[in-house]
Amino acid sequence: MPSAKDLQTVSMSASDEPAVGGAQHGDAVTAAAAAVAATAAVESRPSTIYFDGKSNRKRSVTLRFADGLDILEQDSVVATWPYDAVRRADGPPEVLRLSCVAALPLARLEVHDAAARELVTTHCKSLDLGRGLETQAWRIVALSLAAVTSIALIVYYGIPIVAERLAPLVPAVIEDRIGEAVDQQVRAMFGSKLCSNAEGQAAFTSLVDKLRRAGGIEDRLDARVLSSSLPNAFALPGRKVYLLNGLLEKARSVDEVAGVLAHELGHVYYHHNMRKIIQNGGTSFLIGLLFGDITGSSAVIFAGQSLLDASYSRDAERDADGFAIDLMHKLGRSPKPLGEFLVRLTGREANTTISIFSSHPLTEARLARISGAARPSTGPEILSAAEWRALKAICQTPNR
């Protein structure tokens, strides 16, 4: 039998000795026939397939176990793989698929013959070296993907749910401190001048109180009018509501202003501001809240930016719109003027970065809902004509 270091092929041929006599001739013929049959049997076995890693061409080769694993094609060595560099690759159970760390990355051997597979296993002692590490690497990849997925689920689903549940539970003292800090940023952005015309302030206070009571908000509101040409209105933590004079000047009726303020009171009622701070701040805000550091300077700066830079979610806007619609109905007024006011402002102010539409995006669904809730006004005017005139002039200096 050939040595393990010899060529592992089977060569079958007839006897080379000359025939002697008829009997000897018959024996020779029989031996030759047997050799042909044996050769046919060997050739019918699946051959060893070699991929050189440069192309996808299959090459039928034989193996020779010498100083290394020689790969022969038509008796010529096309590659030699060091025994300790040969590795088992993934493949079907009936095929021994091999790679070599010293060859091209895509080079492969597919050994079909059972005897050849046994010789490979005998000579190549490092076949399974690193397969545990490969499995570990895949495990790390899988765990990493699971971690990323978990984080995404927490960000998009977990934190919003936590924010919704936690926002109403934030102590009033903490919300008030955040509101005071954000108030300073608002004053710096829109100007610190408060409109303080006495008659106008009285009319504004009357309007806000009627809306607050109709909306079921028990706590007092800190509602102000700021002297700014920007058409905007917004609510802040600590039950603070601001109306900018730019929006008041564009209003044609008290019901338009009342609808806008009612919408902002909806944000106050549902704690949308605190929910937005918790949601945008995520884990850092929750930890600060737990350890009492939420009123630190960094948290305050973040809170202000999160309120002034980010718009409300569609759910928050839908809730605030619903609150405004119900509130106006309770006062016997129609919410239709609110929708008309927003449409009128859209053409002029929709592209202004800090207009009311930057934080309260007007969608067709919102507009359709407000318009669909229109009904004839059956209640008294929210403000008298004189009060409405005084409110419109709230930022004007009274004549002496």
pLDDT in tens, 195-243: 989 999 999 999 999 999 999 998 778 899 999 888 888 888 888 899 9
List the 69-73 sheet strands across, edge first.
Answer: 76-81, 69-73, 59-65, 48-51, 108-111, 96-100, 86-88
What are the boundaries of each domain within the chain?
48-129, 170-392
Does 15 have pLDDT greater than 80?
Answer: no
Task: Please tell me which residue, 40 or 322, carries the higher pLDDT value.
Answer: 322
User: What is the DSSP secondary structure assignment for residue 122, as one 8-state letter?
Assistant: H
Does 28 have pLDDT greater than 70?
Answer: no
pLDDT digits (tens, 9 = 90+) for 168-180: 767 777 777 877 8
Find residue 63's DSSP bridge partners. 71
Contact 239, 212 (CB under 8 A): no
Contact 233, 260 (CB under 8 A): yes
Of 97, 119, 113, 124, nearest to 46 by C-alpha is 113
Average pLDDT over residues 367-395: 92
Report the run of H or E that residue 366 belongs to, with start and end. helix 364-372
Query: In percent, how much of the chain has pLDDT > 70?
Result: 68
Determine the Cα–Cα distance for residues 139 and 160; give it in Å rounded to an integer: 31
CATH topology for the 48-129 domain: PH-domain like (2.30.29)
Least confident of 95-99, 184-188, 210-214, 284-288: 284-288
Contact 276, 153 (CB under 8 A): no
Of 305, 301, 297, nearest to 276 by C-alpha is 305
Determine the Cα–Cα distance for residues 179 and 334; give it in Å rounded to an integer: 32
Contact 271, 265 (CB under 8 A): no
Least confident of 186-190, 248-252, 272-276: 186-190
| pLDDT the model gives residue 13 | 33
CA 385 to chain centre: 52
| pLDDT the model gives residue 29 | 46
